[in-house]
Amino acid sequence: MPSEIPPVDPGFGWRWDNSYARLPEGFHSRVDPTAVSTPGWGLFNRPLAESLGIQAESLDRHDHAHYFTGNRLFEGSEPIAQAYAGHQFGNLARLGDGRAILLGEHLDPSGRRWDVQLKGPGLTPYSRGGDGRAALGPMLREYLISEAMHALGIPTTRSLAVALTGEPVFRETTLPGAVLTRIAASHIRVGTFELFSALGDVQALKTVAAYTLLRHFPDRSGEPKPGKALLEAVIERQSALVAQWMRVGFVHGVLNTDNVAVSGETIDYGPCAFMDAYDPATVFSSIDRQGRYAFGNQPKITSWNLARFAEALLPILDDHESTAIEVAQTCLESFPARFRRHWLAAYRGKLGLLTEEDGDATLIEELLAWMHSTQADFTQTFRTLRPTDLGQSESTVPNLNADQQSVAHSESTPSDPKFLDWHRRWTERLARQGLPLARVLECMHQHNPVIIPRNHAVQAALDSASQSNDWSAFHALLAALQSPYQKAGAPDSLRNPPPPGTPRCRTFCGT
């Protein structure tokens, strides 16, 4: 970490301080992006740039495209590819940034540190058989969904820019190439620790653990048992994160350990998608044939990934192996309760429950079971739930804003007996907490988005941008996803589930 505040570069306002590049050999390889022939303008995230303290106005689009494809380097950046390993669908592999280059770390005006990474800038020493490149469609998917996740209030890496390389990439078909600029709290992964563990490099493990604690959990970095402190902190962040995914119906799609950021941010948007009809078995990814990373499996697989993290940390948990194993097990055993706490808080919020009762989990699970059996739309079911009567006359309920009033009066309640029975018990539960309807609806509207990036809308937007160079649908969807909890603004066509009978779109890794 920095000893003094680095200078601001005069062109953009980047303040580079590249602490990861200062870590020892073995953590990374120095590599420059590969120049492309005709860089082109794609997308630039102005609000994000502003929050980072970056001045983009001084640049014309042509310059932009050169910098954000990696053709030109920002002064002060020190491009590296990071080394890591990872369990991919259960098997450990030696990986590393095969198609990503970390330009460096930027300190924003409040002093927060951000990785600035190009995704798709050409070959690195870790490219193995790949081409180091990315296709436009998948980079637009990452941009759209990461920004949607951010607007939903879920920790995530961000997308600053997409630039076009002007060169084709060859997948099953020939596709336009692009480079995404990703902003992240860091790119330290569970797989980063697995690499050093697999190499038996205890010194490197100690180094990366100390570095990670200082960077992400500074209040725990002075503890006498840094390995345990780190393990606990990461388990807590991951349990909170996966509960948030479960709140909004997000399916990550490739929860390999190299795609688990220890910062607790959602990272690596490959075949990810949001669920329409509620079904825990929902899978979108074309390569996830066993449903390993299905919606409902995400807590379990996160727990599995954390077990791999704990294993990697064993050499630094204690000098005695048996004690180290005990420490790891005790920490890992805390995951279910931690996840349950976050999940309950999220789902209580979705049902407007501001107090706690023992029966709440059952009430939530019964609604989910009904939704599953009727293939109810996940997002719309929660958003249109409305208690019938909390013992208060509606005209005396204060502070219903226009959005809440329109929900209160326009949306209908399903009429099947199972649902009605559940609805009666939910209303009774709400009445017992004794809070005004306006407060209940406010809470529900903060936890239940009105719009999510539905896969059919995402796919249509990506296809017309990347295949027909028509960006209107992409920009309309991106704009609508900026305020996901507000009813006004988002057109029905983007909010509604796909028409009944529409086959579920498959998603692809894009590699």
Q: Which residues are known to be catalytic?
A: 258
For the CB of residue 113, give the shortest distance to ligand AMP in the complex, in Å: 23
Fill in the amino acid letter for 493: S
Q: What's the CA gap between 112 and 352, in Å, rounded?
A: 34
Pick out residues in 228-267 that bind Mg ion (CB under 5 A). Answer: 259
Judged by DSSP in three states, 364 sits in helix
Is residue 314 a contact partner of residue 328, using CB atoms and an 8 Å limit?
yes
Q: What's the CA gap between 438 and 401, in Å, rounded?
A: 9
Task: Name which position in 34, 156, 221, 259 contacts ligand AMP (CB under 6 A).
Answer: 259
Nearer to ligand AMP, 95 or 154 (CB): 95
Judged by DSSP in three states, 162 sits in strand
Task: Name which position in 115, 268, 288, 377 contacts ligand AMP (CB under 6 A).
Answer: 268
Interface region with ligand AMP, contact rule CB under 6 A, candidates 90-98, 109-117, 227-235, 358-366: 90-98
Nearest CA to 164 out of 471, 501, 400, 481 is that of 471
Nearer to ligand AMP, 113 or 171 (CB): 171
125 binds ligand AMP (CB under 6 A): no
176 binds ligand AMP (CB under 6 A): no
92 binds ligand AMP (CB under 6 A): no
Task: Read off the DSSP letter of residue 346.
Answer: H
Q: What's the CA gap between 461 and 396, in Å, rounded?
A: 44
79 binds ligand AMP (CB under 6 A): no
Calculate the alpha carbon distances from 23 to 1, 80, 116, 373 in Å: 10, 11, 17, 53
For the CB of residue 27, give the shortest distance to Mg ion in the complex, in Å: 17
82 binds Mg ion (CB under 5 A): no
Nearest CA to 85 out of 99, 76, 95, 75 is that of 95
Nearer to ligand AMP, 39 or 120 (CB): 120
270 binds ligand AMP (CB under 6 A): yes
Q: What's the CA gap between 421 and 440, in Å, rounded?
A: 20
80 binds ligand AMP (CB under 6 A): no
167 binds ligand AMP (CB under 6 A): no
For the CB of residue 171, give the shortest distance to ligand AMP in the complex, in Å: 9
Question: Which partner in Mg ion, ligand AMP, none is near 254 (CB below 5 to 8 A by kind)?
Answer: ligand AMP
Is residue 251 a contact partner of residue 267, using CB atoms and an 8 Å limit?
no
377 binds Mg ion (CB under 5 A): no
178 binds ligand AMP (CB under 6 A): no
Burial of 271 per CB tally in 10 Å (0-12, 13-18, 19+): buried
Q: Taking CB positions, which residue lies at the least distance from ligand AMP?
A: 130
Angle value at C-alpha 207, between 206 and 211, nearest 5 degrees = 115
User: Token pair of 294, please?
Assistant: 């299905």
Nearer to ligand AMP, 187 or 215 (CB): 187
How many binding residues for Mg ion (CB under 5 A)?
2
Nearer to ligand AMP, 285 or 379 (CB): 285
Buried b (16+ CB within 10 A) or exposed e, 352-362: bbeeeeeebee
Residue numbers at the binding site for ligand AMP (CB under 6 A) = 95-100, 127, 130-133, 254, 258-259, 268, 270, 509, 511
